[in-house]
Structures are given as C-alpha cells and as structure tokens.
C-alpha cells in the first residue's frame, strides 16, 4: 500500500459541487464523480469525514429577499445540507463504501444526531461519515461546521474543494494577473480577506492548527494526490 500523508481528513464540499453543470439541485453524474474521488482514498485506508453545504438548494441570506427572516432561512439552508448528505450517502453506499450521516439538527427518523464519540468509532471502523446540518445554528456556514468538526475529530487536514486550483491573489476568473499561492498563513488569509473559507472558520483552524488545503475538485484524482502527499492547490497553515 502506498504511504499516505494523511490518515484522517475532513473533506469540505460546497452544495454547488453537487449541482454540476445545471447549477441547481443534485446532479447524478456529480454524485458518481464524488463517490469515486472518496473511494480512491478510502481504499488507501484513509478515514474520511465530509461536510457538505447546501448552496445548490438554499442559502439563508437569499431568503431575506423573499421576506423569509434570516434565522428561518438559515434553517432551510441547514435542512438543504441534510438532503445533499442523504443523496451522497446513498451514492457512496452504492459504491460499497459504508457511510453514516450525523446531523447537527435532530431528525431522528431520517439521520442520527451528531455524537462525537460515535463519529470517532465510525471513522475507526472505516466508515465515511457525513456531518449534516452545518453547526445546527443560524448565522454560521458549513465552512465553520467543517472547521468545528475537523477539530472535534482530530482531522489532520481540511480538504476544501473548489472550482479553481487554490488560493489566488485576486479572482483568477476576473483578473488575469492573479497569482496562485502555494502556501499561505491563516493570518495572511484573514488580513487580505482572501476567499478561502469564512473568517470564523479560518480563525478556528488557526487557533487549533488545522491545515487547510484548497484544491480543484474538477481535476479527477486530486483528492488521492493530496492524501498521498503531493503538493496540490494551496496549503493554509501557520
Ligand atoms: N447554514 C447555517 N448554519 C450552519 C451552516 C449552514 O445557518 O452552521 C445555512 C446558511 O443559510 C447557509 C446554508 O445553510 O447559507 C447553506 O450552507 P453554505 O452556504 O455554507 O453552503 P455552501 O456554500 O457550502 O454550499
């Protein structure tokens, strides 16, 4: 078996990833693609936790425009992450990857609640665990949930999936002179307000020394490359 750089990772997926080319909802091709990426590292014996967003279905901030108070909108957003988690769980299971969901909001007839010790047992038993419903609280994001859960389960790194090859000095889509950082500190990210994860998430990672690897999920095999220690994307650490 090849030598792994990481034994336990937390993969952060935005809801948008699930939407694929359609831009909304859940795309079957993307689910299969994600399952293959996850499978490639489960096969290496890496323990995988996943936090998935809900932006492909609903974001609380957008609800305000429709007259939905932010706190309620955020609850809709958190429930959207549960729907995404269920879709991903079923796909992973169809790839014969044992997968469990734990939700920060209790929905007992559908998913288990988040119980840290149980989550650790699942990981040690080789199950993929999906942490659904974000932090369970409005006014937070699933990036913050990813940071929180990564700390709680002692993940060695957060793999933050994006559509670009890492963290750039400016938006590479809008600014052709933008350059990519191979490595950057949490403090620089905060100071320059670079779009890596929201400030709460970055602060938590900084305080608890959780490295973040920002990488392009659209390049097949990147998750495995990172787990095997290749320098991919941008590493955010101290
Ligand atoms: N959300 C929340 N608390 C959390 C996590 C998420 O209220 O701890 C809500 C919030 O409305 C957010 C939505 O769920 O807009 C979807 O999460 P997020 O925007 O982080 O998803 P992503 O951008 O990763 O798809």
**Spatial CB neighbours of 214, under 8 Å, sequence gap ≥ 6:** 160, 162, 166, 167, 196, 233, 234, 236
> What interhelical angle do 142-152 and 199-208 show, nearest 10?
10
Q: What CA–CA distances, in Å, run from 143 to 11, 67, 108, 133?
A: 10, 25, 24, 12
**pLDDT recorded at residue 195:** 86
Q: Which amino acid residue places its CA nearest to atom 22 of ligand 1? A: 53
**pLDDT recorded at residue 62:** 92
Percentage, residues of the chain above pLDDT 90: 91
Residue 34 in this model has a pLDDT that exceeds 70: yes
Beta strand 157-162 with 99-103 is unpaired
Query: How far is it, in rounded angstroms, from Cα 236 to Cα 212?
Result: 5
For the chain, the domains span 8-141+156-224
Atom of ligand 1 nearest to the CA of 138: 7
- Ligand 1 centre to CA of 1 (Å) is 37
Task: Determine contact, residues 63/55, Cβ cutoff 8 Å.
Answer: no
- Ligand 1 centre to CA of 226 (Å) is 26
Give 149's Cβ-side CA count (13 Å radius). Answer: 34
Average pLDDT score over the chain:
96
Residue 187 in this model has a pLDDT that exceeds 90: yes
Residue 4 in this model has a pLDDT that exceeds 80: no
Residue 1 in this model has a pLDDT that exceeds 80: no
pLDDT band of 2, cuts 50, 70, 90: low
Q: Which of 25, 27, 141, 160 to mutate to test the pocket of ligand 1 (most atoms within 8 A of CB)?
A: 141
SS3 for 172? coil
pLDDT tens figures, 103-160:
999 999 999 999 999 999 999 999 999 999 999 999 999 999 999 999 999 999 999 9
Residue 198 in this model has a pLDDT that exceeds 90: yes
Query: How far is it, in rounded angstroms, from Cα 76 to Cα 92?
Result: 24
Q: What CA–CA distances, in Å, run from 199 to 39, 46, 162, 203, 211?
A: 31, 28, 17, 6, 15
Give the max Cα distance, the chain.
Answer: 55
Task: Determine contact, residues 122/94, Cβ cutoff 8 Å.
Answer: no
Q: For domain 8-141+156-224, give its CATH number from 3.40.1160.10, 3.30.2350.10, 3.30.70.120, 3.90.1150.10.
A: 3.40.1160.10
Element (H or E) spanning 212, and its range? strand 212-216
Mean pLDDT of 51-56: 98
């Amino acid at each position: 078996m090849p030598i792994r750089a990481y034994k336990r990772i937390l993969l952060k997926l935005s809801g948008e990833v699930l939407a694929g080319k359609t831009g909304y909802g859940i795309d079957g091709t993307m689910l299969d693609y994600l399952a293959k990426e996850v499978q490639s590292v489960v096969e290496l014996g890496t323990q995988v936790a996943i936090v998935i967003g809900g932006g492909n279905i609903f974001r609380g901030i957008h609800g305000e425009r429709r007259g939905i108070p932010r706190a309620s909108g955020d609850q809709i957003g958190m429930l959207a992450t549960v729907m995404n988690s269920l879709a991903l769980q079923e796909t992973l299971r169809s790839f014969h990857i044992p997968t469990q969901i734990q939700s920060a909001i209790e929905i007992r007839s559908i998913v288990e609640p988040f119980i840290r010790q149980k989550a650790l047992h699942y990981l040690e038993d080789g199950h993929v665990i999906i942490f659904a419903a974000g932090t369970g609280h409005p006014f937070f994001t699933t990036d913050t949930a990813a940071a929180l859960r990564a700390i709680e389960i002692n993940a060695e790194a957060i793999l933050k999936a994006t559509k670009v090859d890492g963290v750039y000095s400016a938006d590479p889509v809008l600014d052709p002179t933008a350059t990519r950082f191979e490595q950057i500190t949490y403090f620089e990210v905060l100071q320059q307000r670079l779009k890596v994860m929201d400030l709460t998430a970055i602060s938590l990672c900084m305080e608890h020394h959780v490295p973040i690897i920002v990488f392009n999920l659209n390049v097949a095999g990147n998750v495995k490359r990172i787990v095997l220690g290749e320098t991919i994307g941008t590493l955010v650490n101290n």
